[in-house]
Amino acid sequence: MSMLIELLPLILGLIAAGVLGGLIAGLLGVGGGIVLVPAMALAFEFLGFNPDIYHHVAVGTSLAIIIATGTTSALAHQKHNAVMFDVVKIWAPFIMSASLLGGITAGMFSGDILRVIFGVVAFFIALNIILPVQKKLMARLAGSATAHRLSAFIIGYISALMGIGGGSLSVPTLSAFGHSIHKSVGTGAVLGVLIAIPGAIGFIISGWGVAGRPNYSFGYVNLPALVLIGVVASAFAPMGAALAHRLVAKKLKLVFAIFLLAVGTRMIIQAFWG
């Protein structure tokens, strides 16, 4: 009983992260990983785990959770006919192979390096949503299968390293290729699942046998956090998806840009001033 009381703040924090992560997954098609990774890292830090280990566990577990949140979000968006399966067919093999590679090679990178990379990328994407420079540059490549495949590979690799579903990268990229924001968000949810599955497998492989991991972890995937957050986040993802289809395109783009700026700022602050 005393242990339960001691862990109650941690449990409540993970549940709150699950609620927010699920809503964001449905609303923006991002899988919720950008919220879940720092939340789980903080929880593992509170429990006293090695900082060189718990960040990787947070990322790997986030990818495993996104399998559930991304699936529920994708199904919800499909009900609104917002998934472009022709795009998914082109992107799938490249985004999945890159994600697997990212998970397997994750141990080569420090958490701070990954935070800086993602922070810079998040700022770039947000600014391009507000000032559509990327759209002007990439609109001419919309019909290029090579451009789609290269984008899929880069997005898959980076997303796996950061523990996100890729929506924060794939949604603005698809939008820049000329697709509507609602179609981009719905398709981003499906692509998030295709990132999460091989990415989680990669983190299980790369973390297998590593000392200092939280109890009940398979590689870098922690089962208690997976179950607790995954159930809550999956329940709230459809609510976020329903909200997305009530917003006009301009408002959804603005929400997405603000979200990315906030995440990018937090990542960079953590990296330099932790």
Would you write out the chain's pLDDT as a tens digit for each of its 274 residues?
566 676 676 677 778 877 877 787 777 766 577 778 877 877 777 777 787 788 899 899 999 988 887 888 888 888 888 899 999 999 999 999 999 999 999 888 877 777 787 788 778 777 877 776 666 666 666 667 888 899 999 999 999 998 888 777 888 788 878 888 888 888 998 999 999 999 999 999 999 988 888 888 999 999 888 988 888 887 887 888 788 777 776 777 787 788 778 878 987 887 787 6
User: What pLDDT, on a 0 to 100 scale, did the predictor assign at position 258?
Assistant: 86
Name the nearest CA neighbour of 162 among 104, 102, 209, 222.
102
Q: What does the block give as tokens for 27?
A: 């609303």
Gap between the Cα atoms of 196 and 20, Å rounded: 19
Residues in the chain: 274
Q: Are 129 and 251 in contact (CB under 8 A)?
A: no
Q: Are 229 and 18 in contact (CB under 8 A)?
A: yes
User: What pLDDT, on a 0 to 100 scale, did the predictor assign at position 134?
Assistant: 61
From residue 75, alpha-carbon distances to 190, 219, 254 in Å are 8, 29, 24
Token pair 């998030």 in the structure block, residue: 192
* Burial class, 117, CB count within 10 angstroms (exposed 0-12 / middle 13-18 / buried 19+): middle
Q: Are 203 and 220 in contact (CB under 8 A)?
A: yes
Gap between the Cα atoms of 125 and 222, Å rounded: 31
Name the nearest CA neighbour of 231 among 122, 69, 23.
69
**In the beta sheet, which residues pair with residue 221?**
218
pTM of the model: 0.82
Contacts of 17 (CB under 8 A, 6+ apart): 35, 36, 39, 40, 229
Q: What is the dihedral of CA 229, 55, 33, 176, to 10 degrees?
A: 180
Gap between the Cα atoms of 67 and 232, Å rounded: 13
Contacts of 92 (CB under 8 A, 6+ apart): 152, 194
User: What pLDDT, on a 0 to 100 scale, did the predictor assign at position 50?
Assistant: 80
Contacts of 133 (CB under 8 A, 6+ apart): 127
